[in-house]
Amino acid sequence: MKKLIKLLEKSFLLFLTLNLFLWISAFAKITGLPTFIINISLILYLFILVIFLIKTISYIFIKKWKKLIINIFLLIASLLIFIFVFFLVLLSELFGPSEDNFAKDIVIPKNLIMEEPIWGSNTWANIPTDIEWESLIKSFSWQENNSWTEVNLDLFELNEFSWKNRNLLLNYLASSPKWFVTEEEWKLYAYRRFIVNWRWQNSLNWYYKSSDFNKFSKEWYQFRILIWIDGEWMVNEYSPNVTEKFVGDEEFIFWWLEHEYYNGKISHFVLKSDWAILEIYEESKDYSRPFTKLAISQIKKELKDVLDSQSIDTSKYKTSSDKEDITLINWMQWWIYFVNANINPWEEWYVYLKVFEVTKNIPLSEISIKEDSTEYIWWSNKPEDKFFYNTEIIIYEWDWWDYYPARFELWFVPKKWWEERKITEKVFKIEWWQR
């Protein structure tokens, strides 16, 4: 009995020392003590743990079974303590005080009018329709298809949008809610919007996936459609294997498709013309590329209609509202917002979003919001005409449990580079994020 007590005393001392340093590092992390205290405590913890493990393993070779059993039990207890401490630190990170305390000292005026963002899909009014979108989504096969079919490249309409009709294409894309026109690295392009949660919705990275349209879908597909207006395009670093073709080339087959994590087959197709460029990314289980082929066919018809009309029918693309307004929509993730607006800048070029904390007039996520929200939009000289604007942004200056007022402002930059001007603004309630 005395020998057992002595064995316990030695092992238990090592056990206590080991977990002491674990608790010190956890306490330092939770209370915000200097980082070097956390680092030293963790180094000592790992050092003692290694000694403990070596000693335990050595008992096997010298056949000291009692000591081995005691050490195994103490190691299991140490593991359980580690798991408990880990979740304790995790909870303190999630629900503890913010590291930046952004909203902590903000005093909101009692008379300030502050609207709540619309939550989720509670936007039933004026639900848009897009027959082409419906057929594109339905084109994805729910069964794996290993057969190949040819892709037709007779989209000669792209050739027509060179110098003569370049502005016609830009104006059409800027007017239609189906397209979001913006620029990156001085390259002007438009990507196809789609209806998500009963409204036109942008995507921060241009891609749409199966879960955007059906949260419970077990099938996987992903896609994007872009038109590069001035004949320059950027290679996506995540999909280097690009198939490049020219309008009028012979029909071809995607003989080689890149595999992705979800067992989908990837094709990244670029169709070049005398000027504009069409880019289609498809990831699905169907080798025949049904989405790519249908998208080419639909865009061919769409561009032909534009060429035939040679003008933009303003009444066709204006919104149902005659008032300038901003709507803020929150969906699933508190730090991501969709901004919808009905506006008319009265002349051509682009608009972008500015967001400020109201009481101190602090710009919020200034650089990223401007990049994500810049859109070339259509206009009219009729005051009652309003056009659709939509973007997806992230606001990083948030705080758990505290909220603050943020002023959303839409600004217009004229083509002639005159002084930019504010179109409209509204104050919303921002909450629930810690950076």
Based on the domain organization, do 240 and 371 belong to the same domain?
no
User: Is 255 inside any structural domain?
Assistant: yes
Q: What pLDDT, in 10s, does the model give residues 224-248?
A: 999 998 877 776 555 557 888 899 8
Alpha carbon separation from 201 to 137, 347, 399 (Å, rounded):
15, 24, 26
- Answer positive or negative: Cα dihedral of 76, 77, 82, 84: positive
Strand partners, 179: 192
* φ, ψ (nearest 5 deg) of residue 374: -70, 125
Lowest mean pLDDT among 11-20, 82-91, 141-150, 283-292: 141-150
- Residues 155, 85 within the same domain: no
Q: How many domains does the chain have?
A: 3
Cα–Cα distances (Å) from 44 to 12, 25, 30, 360, in that order, read: 17, 10, 19, 45
Judge whether 213 lies within some domain. Answer: yes
* pLDDT at residue 166 greater than cutoff 70: yes
Q: How many CA atoms lie within 13 Å of 271's alpha carbon, on the beta-carbon side?
A: 29
Task: Select from 364, 369, 350 the least CA-distant residue to 412.
Answer: 350
State which of 49, 79, 95 marks the end of a domain.
95
* Average pLDDT of the residues in 334-347: 84
Q: Identify which has the larger pLDDT, 16 or 314.
A: 16
Domain boundary among 287, 312, 337: 312
In the listed set 254, 280, 312, which residue is the last one of a domain according to the structure?
A: 312
Smallest Cα–Cα separation from 186: which of 229, 226, 242? 229
**69 and 166 within one domain:** no
Confirm if 357 and 106 have CB atoms less than 8 A apart.
Answer: yes
Evaluate whether residue 301 is within a structural domain. yes
pLDDT above 50: residue 4: no
The packing angle between helices 65-95 and 35-61, to 10°, is: 160
Q: Are 360 and 410 within one domain?
A: yes
Q: How far apart are CA 418 and CA 394, in angstroms?
A: 29
Answer yes or no: do 404 and 303 share one domain: no
Q: Clarify whether residues 394 and 270 are in a common domain.
A: no
What is the model's pTM?
0.71
On whether residue 79 sits in a domain, the answer given is yes
CA torsion 39-40-41-44 (nearest 10°) is 120
What's the pLDDT score for residue 401? Answer: 67
Q: Are residues 149 and 273 in the same domain?
A: yes
The candidate with the shortest Cα–Cα distance to 217, out of 140, 114, 297, is 140
Same domain for 267 and 283, yes or no, is: yes
- Residue 119 inside a domain? The answer is no
Based on the fold, state whether residues 363 and 298 are members of the same structural domain. Answer: no
> For all residues of the chain together, what is the average pLDDT?
81
User: Is the separation of the CB atoms in 423 and 324 below 8 Å?
Assistant: yes
- CA count, 13 A, side-chain hemisphere, 79: 7
Rounded CA-CA distance 405/360 in Å is 10
Looking at the fold, whether 248 and 145 belong to one and the same domain comes out as: yes
Say whether both 142 and 290 belong to one domain.
yes
Higher per-residue pLDDT: 7 or 279:
279
In-domain check, residue 32? yes
What does the pLDDT read at residue 139?
81
- 113 lies in some domain: no
For residue 177, being part of any structural domain is answered with: yes
pLDDT of residue 124: 46
pLDDT of residue 322: 67
Domain that holds residue 215: 127-312
Q: Beta 336-343 vs 349-357: how paired, if at all?
A: unpaired
- Residue 328 and residue 305 in one domain: no
Task: CATH number of the domain at 353, please.
Answer: 2.60.40
Q: What does the pLDDT look like over 30-81, one tens digit per residue?
A: 777 778 888 888 888 888 888 888 888 888 888 888 888 888 888 888 889 9
Give the pLDDT score at 385. Answer: 82
The residue count of the chain comes to 435
For 235-287, write each residue's pLDDT tens digit. Answer: 655 555 788 889 988 888 776 666 665 567 888 889 998 889 999 998 888 88
pLDDT computed for residue 301 by the predictor: 92
